[in-house]
Amino acid sequence: MYRIIVIVLTVGVLACASASAWVYPEHRDIAVAAVLKLDSARRVHLDSLWSWARIGHETRLPSSIVIPELPEQPNYIDWGAWPAIGGDHSCSPSQMLETVLNTEWILDVARITEHFKRELLAAKHQAKRLNALRDQDLQLQRADPEYATRAGSNNVHFLLARTSVSTSPRVYLEGSLSQGGEINALAVYIWYHYRAMAKISQLRSPGLTEVQRNQIALAALADEAFGIHFLEDVYAAGHVAGTWGNASLRKGTHDYYNEHGYETHTWAGKPVVLMGDAYMRPEDIEAPAHAVRISLEQFVDAFRGVDPYAGHEFNDREIEGLFMTEPDTLNVCQNNDIPGKIASSELMPQYVSVIQHTPMPALKAGYGELPRFRTELGGFIGIAPFVRGAGWDGGFDPVQTSALGIASLGMNLRLGLGLDGVTSEAGDGLVFIEFGIAHDNASTANFSTDSALADYGDVLAAIPSRSSFTTRIRMPFYVIPGDLILGALLIAPFSLQTYTQMAVVAGNGGVIPWQSGIATDFGRFQFILGREVGVNFYGFGSGSQKILVPYQDDESNQLAELLDLRSIQVEAPIVEWRPFRTFSVDQSSSMVVQFYGAADIPVYWKSHLTPPTTYDLKTRWGLGVRVAFDWRYYY
Ligand SMILES: [Zn+2]
């Protein structure tokens, strides 16, 4: 069990790091807007670079570098989409280019995300938006199985926190770029942007063959696009709001500010309200597109060889690995530290001229820090008081066939692991185990059908009031209930990657995602059959529990006999409704209504007469509703 918890926890931490800044269509829209904003002289140069780059790839790469309005089913990938694929669907420019040019699944990604973009435009309610996001995430996970797990646990899509209020953009940037420091969005942007400029500047040298020229143009465009992904990321509220703390705090803060927005200034002093991740408004394109445009201007200028690039020597004495004709291979999913010298400091003013249009990040931990939030990620303890009521097909005695009802009150202690929102709000990675006690009232029906006994009420109930030990377990599954436990033993030791993907799919509703949550204006619904099971043990404590059963003595007198009884009642919830849920920094509370099927199986009974009477007790079947208050404290 410990092993499973550790592995599932790993999944949560990995998945949390994959928190994206913008969804695919948003990343793409920013890049497209930036290209459209370029002045015509530079645009002509960029277009000719594109026309060289696409030679030999004419079916995959459209003739125009950006296609402002995509068709519903695009069968090509324009350059505008490259920054959306970089970072989120690939780990390096080299991987990104391979994916763009040579895989079929990336076309599926383009179609899924285009469909999602249209859904989002049409969505009027928050519930619709959440469901569209859920559908997209599930489809993307199928098209690109590494989608949720690709990103490592680093902060590469985020900005470093600002250390003091007096930090200038240049000092902040130098701090972000220092070799050996923590990897961050600006560091990798400058890393690829510099290499893109270095590559493209080679086209100025005479004597290149046409093949070399095309290859360099393609590689340089890939580096620039991959870098731009991270330049766009720094405009997402959740990526600016401060990234320290544990996984739960980082993910919670990220999600909160992406949804609710964050007011700040750019380094140049322009006030901005930032949003993120499927919450981009049309006016939010403006600021990042402006910075991306300046980056593209520098890229084109390096190609043309105008100042300051005319006098700048891009050489590999200072920066390792330049002058390659291939796209860069620095892997952002695996490197947690800045691995080498990022770029020549000679072009610092150029970098600053891009960065000054980016938002100032929030302060580091300490006085003046921004309020931060957690998500339901990590271990928790909780209590879950509940009431339930069920209708049953009769008593244990086969002669007791009249339907009866039983209501109970109970209280469970809970120990668990929250992985809620592993990839979206539709996900449910909740794993817990509960122990507690419950008390049932007497059944509504009498043990005997004799109408003369009807007035004795509870005293002669078919099933008297009794109490039970209760236990409950919940865990998502991939195909069949419990398979994550088998997987932890049989698959995880050989491929943690495969197991992680399996767990993410399970958390999001399974292979056929019939268990993923459905958001509505009046709460969240979810099919949970097989995901949760409750077991109640009756008569296992000190003192036997007894029931009355009809007994006929030797003279044919109708009497009753008391039987000792132990039974095990299994409860399988089918559908769950969560009308509300609130979450503070470290605790959550919600109400859960579950509709369940149950079986009450007699496992032991004993007659006290001599000789003992023999009875053949039967399993009872029931349907019920359980309402639980669910309080958790996360530690
Ligand atoms: Zn990103």
Per DSSP, the chain holds a count of helices (H) and strands (E) of 15, 13
Q: Which residue do the tokens 């209590």 mark?
A: 383
Residue 508 has pLDDT above 70, yes or no: yes
Residue 3 has pLDDT above 70, yes or no: no
**3-class secondary-structure state, position 105:** helix
Beta carbons within 8 Å of 508's beta carbon, 6+ residues apart: 137, 138, 141, 422, 423, 424, 426, 427, 428, 516
**187 CA distance to ligand 1 centroid (A)?**
13
pLDDT at 15: 46
Residue 578 has pLDDT above 50, yes or no: yes
Residue 247 has pLDDT above 70, yes or no: yes
Q: What percent of the chain has pLDDT over 90?
A: 51
**147 CA distance to ligand 1 centroid (A)?**
12
Mean pLDDT of the chain, nearest integer: 88
Number of Cα atoms under 13 Å in the Cβ half of residue 3: 12
Q: What share of the chain is helix, strand, coil (3-state, %, to 5)?
A: 35, 25, 40
**234 CA distance to ligand 1 centroid (A)?**
9
pLDDT at 369: 85
Residue 424 has pLDDT above 70, yes or no: no
Q: Where does the pLDDT of residue 212 fall: very low under 50, low under 70, confident under 90, or very high at 90 and above? A: very high
**20 CA distance to ligand 1 centroid (A)?**
5
**Six-digit token string for 277:** 């991740």
**Six-digit token string for 610:** 């001599």
**336 CA distance to ligand 1 centroid (A)?**
15
478, 506 in Cβ contact below 8 A? yes
What residue type is 609 in one-letter code? Answer: L
Q: Where does the pLDDT of residue 17 fall: very low under 50, low under 70, confident under 90, or very high at 90 and above? A: very low
Q: Span 480-503, mean pLDDT?
A: 85
Q: Which residue has the higher pLDDT, 498 or 424?
A: 498
Q: Which residue has the higher pLDDT, 597 or 154?
A: 597
Residue 19 has pLDDT above 70, yes or no: no
**3-class secondary-structure state, position 179:** coil
**136 CA distance to ligand 1 centroid (A)?**
17
616, 398 in Cβ contact below 8 A? yes
Query: 429-486 pLDDT, tens per residue?
Result: 788 999 999 999 999 888 877 777 777 777 888 899 999 999 999 998 989 998 888 8
Most confidently predicted of 211-225, 237-251, 359-373, 602-616:
211-225
429, 420 in Cβ contact below 8 A? yes
**248 CA distance to ligand 1 centroid (A)?**
18
Query: 72-124 pLDDT, tens per residue?
Result: 999 999 999 999 999 999 999 999 999 999 999 999 999 999 999 999 889 88
Q: Which residue do the tokens 């459905």 mark?
A: 518
pLDDT at 491: 86
* CA distances from residue 441 to 22, 445, 465, 600 in whole angstroms, order as listed: 54, 12, 4, 15
**235 CA distance to ligand 1 centroid (A)?**
10
**570 CA distance to ligand 1 centroid (A)?**
46
558, 607 in Cβ contact below 8 A? no
Residue 494 has pLDDT above 90, yes or no: no
**59 CA distance to ligand 1 centroid (A)?**
28
Q: CA-to-CA distance for 110 and 197, rounded, in angstroms?
A: 28
pLDDT at 466: 93
Identify the CA nearest to 243 among candidates 16, 76, 494: 16
What residue type is 176 in one-letter code? Answer: S
Q: To 5 degrees, how large is the angle CA 379–CA 382–CA 383?
A: 165
**83 CA distance to ligand 1 centroid (A)?**
9
**21 CA distance to ligand 1 centroid (A)?**
5
**3-class secondary-structure state, position 631:** strand
Strand 466-474, strand 545-552: pairing: unpaired
**451 CA distance to ligand 1 centroid (A)?**
74
* Alpha helices by DSSP H, 477-626: 483-490, 496-507
**170 CA distance to ligand 1 centroid (A)?**
23
**Domain range list for the chain:** 2-355, 377-476+515-634
Q: CA-to-CA distance for 194 and 186, rounded, in angstroms?
A: 12
Q: Which residue do the tokens 């496992």 mark?
A: 603
Identify the CA nearest to 547 among candidates 447, 622, 451: 447
**595 CA distance to ligand 1 centroid (A)?**
40
**313 CA distance to ligand 1 centroid (A)?**
31
Q: Span 309-329, mean pLDDT?
A: 82
**429 CA distance to ligand 1 centroid (A)?**
23
Specify which residues 551 forms β-bridges with. Answer: 559
Buried-exposed string 149-182: b where 16+ CB fall within 10 A, e elsewhere: bbbbebbbbbbbbbeeeebebeebbebbbeeeeb
**149 CA distance to ligand 1 centroid (A)?**
14
Q: CA-to-CA distance for 145 and 333, rounded, in angstroms?
A: 15
pLDDT at 319: 78
**469 CA distance to ligand 1 centroid (A)?**
49
Q: Span 487-493, mean pLDDT?
A: 86
DSSP 461: B
Backbone torsions φ then ψ of 297, nearest 5 degrees: -60, -45
**579 CA distance to ligand 1 centroid (A)?**
33
Q: Span 263-280, mean pLDDT?
A: 90
Max Cα-Cα span within the chain: 119
pLDDT at 80: 97
Identify the CA nearest to 478 among candidates 539, 527, 530: 530
110, 74 in Cβ contact below 8 A? yes
Beta carbons within 8 Å of 118's beta carbon, 6+ residues apart: 72
Residue 510 has pLDDT above 90, yes or no: no
pLDDT at 427: 65
**3-class secondary-structure state, position 538:** strand
Q: Which residue do the tokens 């079929």 mark?
A: 104
Residue 623 has pLDDT above 50, yes or no: yes
Q: Where does the pLDDT of residue 61 fall: very low under 50, low under 70, confident under 90, or very high at 90 and above? A: very high
Prior bond of 282 cis (ω within 30°):
no
Specify which residues 41 forms β-bridges with. Answer: none
**276 CA distance to ligand 1 centroid (A)?**
11
pLDDT at 234: 93
Q: Where does the pLDDT of residue 18 fall: very low under 50, low under 70, confident under 90, or very high at 90 and above? A: very low
What residue type is 405 in one-letter code? Answer: G
Q: Where does the pLDDT of residue 423 fall: very low under 50, low under 70, confident under 90, or very high at 90 and above? A: very low
Buried-exposed string 1-10: b where 16+ CB fall within 10 A, e elsewhere: eeebeebbbb
Q: Span 368-381, mean pLDDT?
A: 83
Residue 228 has pLDDT above 90, yes or no: yes
**252 CA distance to ligand 1 centroid (A)?**
17
pLDDT at 76: 97
**Six-digit token string for 506:** 């399970």
Dump strand ranges (E) for 475-554. 518-520, 523-527, 532-538, 545-552
Query: 531-577 pLDDT, tens per residue?
Result: 999 999 999 987 778 888 888 888 888 788 889 999 999 999 999 99
* CA distances from residue 198 to 6, 315, 369, 391, 444 in whole angstroms, order as listed: 45, 8, 39, 75, 83
**87 CA distance to ligand 1 centroid (A)?**
6
